Structures are given as structure tokens and as C-alpha cells.
A and B are shown apart, each in its own frame.
Chain A
Amino acid sequence: MCRRRKYLLLHFSLQVRFTMNLDRSFYVPAKSILHSLNPLTKLTLVFALISFAFFSFPWMAPVLILPVFIMGFVGKVQKQYLNVFAKLILPAIGFMFIMQSLFLPGGETLVFKFSIFDIYTETIRTAFLTVSRIFVMISSFTLLLLTTHPSELMSDLTGRGLPGQFAYVIISTLQIIPQMQAKAQTIIAAQRSRGLDTQSTFRKRVGALVPLVGPLVFGSLVEVEERAIAIEARGFTSNRTKTSLYEIPDSSFDKALRWVLVLLVIISIVSRIWLS
């Protein structure tokens, strides 16, 4: 196991393991208000929250922390959300908070001294603001991914005029990355069985990347050609207007909510500019 870990480090793979399910999305099926909203409405909500946190009054971001947390429970995905929070969000923002508190310049009111560091009230305040903004951004995106199936999101957006190619690139990437990881593993195992050294000095490890990247990259290029033929054979670039297998409900409540959100975003930005 330890050896395996060592060479896992060698290829710089993005291992998103914590909540990914078999069909390679973060989606958790459940019946909740969030699930029943139209994907575009949820996307609008996410961008509205981000806009409130970043472009409105500085007190907005900390105020939004609790509502975003509650949204996880409303969407009935609290378990998965807390999992992501504990494993990804908390370490990231925790680290950011400490670094910013220690190193941000421009503090005046000294709170305490800690070996060579001086901690000021102002820097802590700024760090807290940054961290809460990041929290709102990552959390709202996580909640979107947890409550919306990617194909639902994409077919809704293509139905509204997003180019099919764009949606294809997003979804196929999500699905193909794990496949490429598996292939990289096979190639590593094959090269190692032929005596490739992937565990000794740093130099040798870097050298070992060459016989790995070659087959992976060139193999993928061949695959891309074949896949292009395969989807072309199924009319991917057809000039006809595309249809969608699923009907994605877009209620009048959704439409109203979207307008309200857009309006709120405008009000929050304008009032910020007005009052400052």
C-alpha cells in the first residue's frame, strides 16, 4: 500500500474521490425543493450568492454563511455536503485564514504576539471576510452539483441556446478523466513490470514520466479521433435543431425567482456603490 502511494504521487492526478458516485457525478438523488428547481434557477442562485458575497457590502458574506449551511439541509444533501465541507472546504479556508492573519500587511490594533508574528484585529477581519466569501462560493457550487444532475443541467442549457459542443466538452470531460486515470495506472504498471524505476531519486522519477506521458498522450489523441468519428456518425454536427430526451420543468415560480434574484443582485451592487 505504501509503495502504491509513492507512485500514485508520481502522476499528478486529480483524485476527487470523496463523493463521486458510480456514474461519475456528484449528484445525490432526493426529493427536495432544491432538486425540483430548474437548473438555470439554481445556477442563477449560485451566481447571485457569489455576487452578494463579493460585490455587495462586506458584512454580506459572513451573514450568508448560515443560510448556505441551511440550504444543504433544505436540499437533503447535508451528509454529502458536510463531507465535502470537512474534507475540502474546511482545510482550504482554514489554511487561508491562518496565512492571511499572519501575513497580511496593514494592521494597527495589535491583538497578540506569537513568536515572530504580530496579529492585528484588522488583518483578522480581512482574513475572515475573504474566507467567508470563498466559503459561500465553494459551498453554493457544491450544493448545485449535489442537487443537479449534470446531464439535466446541460440539456437545459443547450435547450436555451448553449452550443452543443460546449455542453459536450463539459460532460465528456467529467466522464473521461476517470477513464484516463485508469489508463495511466495500466501504463505505469506495464512500464514498471519492464523495469521502469518510479520510486528512487527525484531525477529518476521525473525521467520516468516520459515513457508514461508518451503512450497516454498519443493514445488519447487516437481515441479522440475515433470518438470524433463515432459522434459524427450519430449526427453530432447536424444542422437540424437539436431536441432533448428529457423535458426539464421550468415553472412560473422558477421564472419569477430568477427575476427576483437578478433584481436583488442589481440592488445590492447599486446600493453598495451609492452608499460608499
Chain B
Amino acid sequence: MAIVNLKNVTYKYPLTDTLVLDGINLQIEEGEFVAVVGPNGAGKSTLCYMLAGFVPHFYKGELTGTVEVAGVETQESSLNEWVMNVGLAFQNPFNQISGAKYTVFEEIAFGLENIGVPRKDMKERVERALEMTGILDLAERSPYSLSGGQQQRVALTSILVMEPKVLVLDEPTSQMDPIGTREVFGVIRTMAERGMTVVLAEHKMEWIAQFADRVIALHEGKILLDGKPGEVLTSELLDGKGFGISRYTSTAREAQEQSLWPNNKNLPVTLDEAVEGFTPNPSPSPLKGEGS
């Protein structure tokens, strides 16, 4: 039984005529790490908001088809029940800080206070979450005194602490510098290793290829491709549609044309794969696990 189940979903924002999502069918199994890629305006964010319940409960608009998460249908549920099952984090870390709390510890406890978790459990859960995302050292700092990457990790932690069944991340690193990106993906890696169900909309192909079990390519509100990262991210179907292609893929494609890339190998998305392909006698890569 899939934990996320979308059947024939179409959606229009209020006062518009274009379908932002058009005939989406999508099943996500528990524990799966799904990445959503697509050019701007493809409907990635809308899909994220839909999974998180903000479409249609917050943005209204016209939704047809069925959206089901953890066996509950979105139209039959309310937003404040829905958020107990699905956690959402998005781009701007600054706007995700509640502004009602003075320390990171309090900030992370905010969600638990709202849903009435007893004080004793609250402290334990906050500490556990801080440890998991590696920001225990920031606990007593003001959330506003942190860097973008740190703030985004606080935002992720404050969602994780609520123990959602599905975690939706809408381009969590799009406003980060390389250091911030690495910090945030460090947290995402932990979640992937723990077998959480994650839906991640993201542009950075090299990172996606490292974590995702499955990649969905969205284009103009429709699912263009759905499959393994190695296949989807290197597919020629993505050409000329505004999908970002990893530099390793484009280099290898160029090499392939000049017969420098081995025929029996898929095109690479990450540095490791590229190194492996370009090395004449494959030996264990010394750069394994280095990230991008």
C-alpha cells in the first residue's frame, strides 16, 4: 500500500485558466526517496504544496482527481490534521523561522507546543532531533543570528521533530551558497539513511543522484519521466526543455560522441560515476563519498 497516492490529479490556481498540474498519477511507497526535477514553472512547488495539504486548503483553486496520503483523502481532511502526517520545508530559510521564539531550542519546540506534546516528551524529542541533524551546538543561539545554511537546518529540524510520515522539501538549497548546500544535504542524507519517505524538489542533479531512489521529471504540469536517477537524469528526452543537466553528464555525452566514453556504461550524473567511466582500468575510486 503506497503511502502517497495521486490519481488523475489536475489543479488550477484561483483566477487562472492554466492547469499547473495536468493528469498526475503518482504512487510513492513508504521509505522511498523521490526527487522531483523540472524547469521553473513545471509545477514542482505546486506538487509539493499539494502533498503538504496547502493545495487546496491554503491556496484554494480547483482540484480534481484524488490526493491520498497515509490513507487519508485531502478533500476530506483539514489542514491542521494533514500537517501531522506531512512535513514541509521550502526555499527561504529566513521565512521559515517562526519569529515567536528566541532560541533555536525554543524554535524547534514551537511545533510540539502547538500540537500539545507534554513538556517532558518535548524536551527529549527536541534534543533527539537536534542531535540527528547535528545542530546541538546551536541550541542556545537566536535563530536570527544564524547563517542561511544553519537556518535551513533549523527549519528542517523543526519539521522533523514533529515526526511526519512524509517529508516534502521544496528546493531547500536554492538560496544557499555551496557551504550551506552541503550542510543541508548532510541533513537530507541522514534522513535518506534512516529510511524516511522523502519527496525532494531540487535543481542540483549531482546531489539528487546521490540520494534518490527514484526521480520524477515534471514538464508543463505532466510527468515526463519516472524512474531510476541514472536513467532519468541522463535521458535525452530532457534536452532543450530547460532541465539542468549535470556537468558530468554533458561532458560524458560529448566524450561519447568522440567515442571516449565506454559503450557499456550509462552516462554519469555525479563526479564518482564520471571518474569511474573515464578511468581506463576501473579501480575503487579514491574520491568515493566526497560529494560534489
Q: Is the CB of B111 within 8 A of A235?
A: yes
A-B pairs with CB below 8 Å: how many? 119
- Whether A151 and B101, one on each chain, are in contact in the complex, defined by CB atoms closer than 8 angstroms, is yes
Q: A226-B96, A234-B158 are in contact. Are A243 and B116 (CB under 8 A)?
A: yes
Q: Which of A151, A227, A231, A239 contacts B102 (CB 8 A)?
A: A151
Check B90 for interface membership: any CB of A closer than 8 A. Answer: yes
CB pair B102–A233 under 8 Å, yes or no, is no
Q: Which residues of B contact A164 (CB under 8 A)?
A: 114
Closest to B145 in A: A22
State whether B113 touches A245 (Cβ < 8 A): yes
A197 within 8 A of B: no
Are the CB atoms of A226 and B95 closer together than 8 Å?
A: yes
| Minimum CB–CB distance for B237 against chain A, Å | 33
CB distance from B182 to the nearest CB of A (A): 23
Closest to A151 in B: B102
A interface size (C-beta, 8 A): 38
Q: Is the CB of A179 within 8 A of B144?
A: yes
Any A CB within 8 A of the CB of B37: no
Q: When chains A and B are docked, how far (Å) is the Cα of A185 from the Cα of B88?
A: 31
B118 touching A243 by the CB < 8 A rule? yes
Name B114's contact: one of A172, A179, A242 (CB within 8 Å). A242
A211-251, CB under 8 A of B: which get 1 and which 0?
Answer: 00000000000010011111111111111111111010000
B109 to chain A, nearest CB (A): 4
Judge whether B128 is part of the interface by a CB distance below 8 angstroms: no
CB <8 Å contact, A237 and B54:
no
A232 touches B54 (CB 8 A): yes
Cα distance A149–B95 in the bound complex, in angstroms: 23
Q: Mark B94-123, 1 if CB is under 8 A from A, else 0.
A: 111111111101100111111111110011
14 contacts between A and B (CB under 8 A): A149-B102, A151-B100, A168-B100, A171-B99, A227-B98, A229-B49, A230-B96, A231-B98, A231-B100, A232-B80, A236-B114, A237-B80, A244-B113, A245-B106
List residues of chain B with CB under 8 Å of any chain A CB: 49, 52, 54, 58, 79-80, 83-84, 87-90, 92, 94-103, 105-106, 109-119, 122-123, 126, 142, 144-145, 155, 158-159, 162
Contacts A151-B100, A229-B90, A231-B110 given; 13 further ones with Cβ under 8 A? A22-B142, A23-B102, A172-B100, A179-B144, A230-B90, A234-B111, A234-B114, A236-B114, A238-B115, A243-B112, A245-B113, A245-B122, A247-B119
